[in-house]
């Protein structure tokens, strides 16, 4: 238990460092790189750095001398600016830690991700990490990894397996809490409302943890005000193009839309295009709430087009490498490491934007 507390606190410190970097350093813009693709994923890309390279902050150096740790990482895809920043954080952190990284892009398809994990098992990597496309349907392949003696770490998204021995830890955000933060801002804004407030919702990928949880948290909080009514809810698959398409449909079907709640910035940005094309002013005619706080979203917020953003920090690389090193060294880690995050109004986004890293 002593070592468990040590690594839990160490990873929490890494989370704070990652958050501080996200809010306090100058950095590069991570642009949206497209949505779901229909082709099969490319073969795993392998990159490595010298074992003598500087490890990520706080990482243990107790791995066997001369042994390079191999990490297999199965990414969801490249559906948003958030995901692009997340991938870069993982790739850069693996290099800094001196790990060999075998990387696979699942292109938002569960079958591709399962195929990649099985490939990692065959390659006998030291650790497997992945961000699940959806919550369900993982037990079989996770049992295969466990039987092969390869530990698994979940990042960003969780699985709904009842057997928690199939993975070592989850590293990421509390999506339910993100939804609650979005809902609470809306409740506070319309606390004196005497008429119904019509809300449309752009959900993330159907069946994914962030889509399920951001919806649940939001609904739980707004239920306290009977005037807050969700009149339409549909998936935008976390992409800008789909967000625009669905918002266009919402605008045609519903004449009186007061609020848009988007599960990520990219969908909100697509919706803004649709709102402007309809001759309306985003942020004024339709109040917009979003989740992520990537640079493009923060820019829109600073311009008054998004009224409130709940942050979801993508810079999970340092925390993941800490966990990988701890697992390889045989140390216990906390079963759930939650990243600390904040929120932004339009004015706060304007102040934070110049130093935004992603």
Helix, coil or strand: residue 98: coil
Residue with structure tokens 């960003």? Answer: 156
Cβ atoms of 200 and 237 within 8 Å: the answer is no
Residue with structure tokens 């919702």? Answer: 201
Look up the CATH number of domain 175-311.
3.40.50.2300
Phi, psi of 201 (to 5 degrees): -125, 130
Question: Which pLDDT tens digits describe the chain residue by residue (358 residues)?
Answer: 333 333 444 444 444 334 333 333 333 333 333 333 333 333 344 444 333 333 333 333 344 556 899 999 999 999 888 999 999 999 999 999 999 999 999 999 999 999 999 999 999 999 999 999 999 999 999 999 999 999 999 999 999 999 999 999 999 999 999 999 999 999 999 999 999 999 999 999 999 999 999 999 999 999 999 999 999 999 999 999 999 999 999 999 999 999 999 999 999 999 999 999 999 999 999 999 999 999 999 999 999 999 999 999 999 999 999 999 999 999 999 999 999 899 999 999 999 999 988 8
**CA dihedral sign of residues 93, 94, 95, 99:** positive
Residue with structure tokens 């740790």? Answer: 69
pLDDT number for residue 53: 33
Domain ranges of the chain: 2-173+313-341, 175-311
Secondary structure letter of residue 340 according to DSSP: P
* DSSP notation for 33-82: -----SSPPPPPEEE---TTSPPPTT----SPTT---EEEEEE--S-SHH
Beta pairing, strands 100-105 & 127-130: unpaired
Q: What angle do CA 123, 331, 17 make, to 5 degrees?
A: 95
**CA dihedral sign of residues 259, 210, 110, 295:** positive
Token pair of 43 as six digits: 């073969």
Residue (of 194, 263, 260) closest to 226 by Cα position: 194
pLDDT number for residue 66: 65
CA distance 49 to 61: 15
Helix, coil or strand: residue 201: strand
The arrangement of secondary structure in 2-173+313-341, i.e. its CATH architecture, is 3-Layer(aba) Sandwich (3.40)
Residue with structure tokens 């266009």? Answer: 248
Cβ atoms of 279 and 286 within 8 Å: the answer is no
- Give the bridge partners for 53, in sequence order: none
CA distance 164 to 148: 17
pLDDT number for residue 293: 97
Cβ atoms of 209 and 135 within 8 Å: the answer is yes
Q: What angle do CA 18, 19, 20 make, to 5 degrees?
A: 90
3-state secondary structure string across 260-281: EEECCHHHHHHHHHHHHHCCCC
CA distance 332 to 11: 12
Token pair of 149 as six digits: 């003696």
Helix, coil or strand: residue 229: strand
pLDDT number for residue 64: 55
CA distance 178 to 175: 5
Phi, psi of 132 (to 5 degrees): -60, 135
Q: Do domains 2-173+313-341 and 175-311 have the same CATH topology?
A: yes
Cβ atoms of 285 and 257 within 8 Å: the answer is no
Token pair of 8 as six digits: 């839990």
Phi, psi of 303 (to 5 degrees): -90, 0
Q: At what angle do helices 295-302 and 265-277 cross, to 10 degrees?
A: 40
Beta pairing, strands 197-203 & 152-155: unpaired
């Amino acid at each position: 238990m002593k070592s468990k507390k040590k690594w839990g606190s160490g990873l929490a410190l890494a989370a704070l460092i990652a958050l501080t970097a996200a809010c306090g350093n100058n950095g590069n813009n991570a642009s949206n790189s497209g949505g779901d693709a229909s082709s099969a994923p490319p073969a795993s890309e392998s990159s490595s750095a010298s074992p003598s390279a500087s490890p990520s902050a706080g990482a243990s150096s107790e791995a066997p001398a001369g042994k390079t740790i191999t990490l297999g990482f199965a990414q969801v895809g490249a559906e948003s600016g958030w995901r692009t920043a997340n991938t870069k954080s993982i790739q850069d952190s693996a290099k800094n830690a001196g790990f060999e990284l075998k990387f696979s892009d699942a292109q938002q398809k569960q079958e591709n991700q399962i195929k990649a994990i099985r490939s990692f098992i065959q390659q006998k990597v030291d650790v497997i990490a992945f961000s699940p496309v959806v919550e369900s349907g993982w037990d079989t392949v996770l049992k295969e990894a466990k039987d092969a003696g390869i530990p698994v770490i979940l990042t960003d998204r969780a699985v709904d397996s009842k057997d928690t021995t199939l993975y070592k830890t989850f590293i990421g955000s509390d999506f339910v809490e993100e939804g609650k933060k979005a809902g609470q801002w809306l409740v506070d804004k319309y606390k004196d409302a005497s008429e119904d407030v019509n809300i449309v919702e752009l959900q993330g990928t159907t069946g994914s943890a962030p889509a399920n949880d951001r919806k649940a948290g939001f609904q739980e909080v707004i239920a306290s005000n009977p005037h807050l009514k969700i009149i339409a809810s549909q998936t935008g698959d976390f992409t800008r193009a789909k967000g625009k398409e669905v918002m266009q449909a919402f605008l045609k079907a519903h004449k009186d839309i007061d609020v848009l709640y988007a599960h990520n910035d990219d969908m909100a940005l697509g919706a803004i295009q649709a709102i402007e094309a309809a001759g309306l002013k985003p942020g004024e005619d339709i109040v917009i709430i979003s989740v992520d706080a990537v640079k493009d979203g923060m820019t829109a917020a600073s311009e008054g087009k998004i009224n409130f953003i709940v942050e979801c920090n993508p810079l999970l690389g340092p925390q993941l490498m800490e966990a990988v090193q701890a697992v390889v060294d045989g140390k216990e880690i906390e079963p759930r490491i939650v990243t600390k995050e904040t929120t932004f109004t339009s004015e706060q986004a304007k102040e934070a934007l110049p130093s935004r890293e992603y």
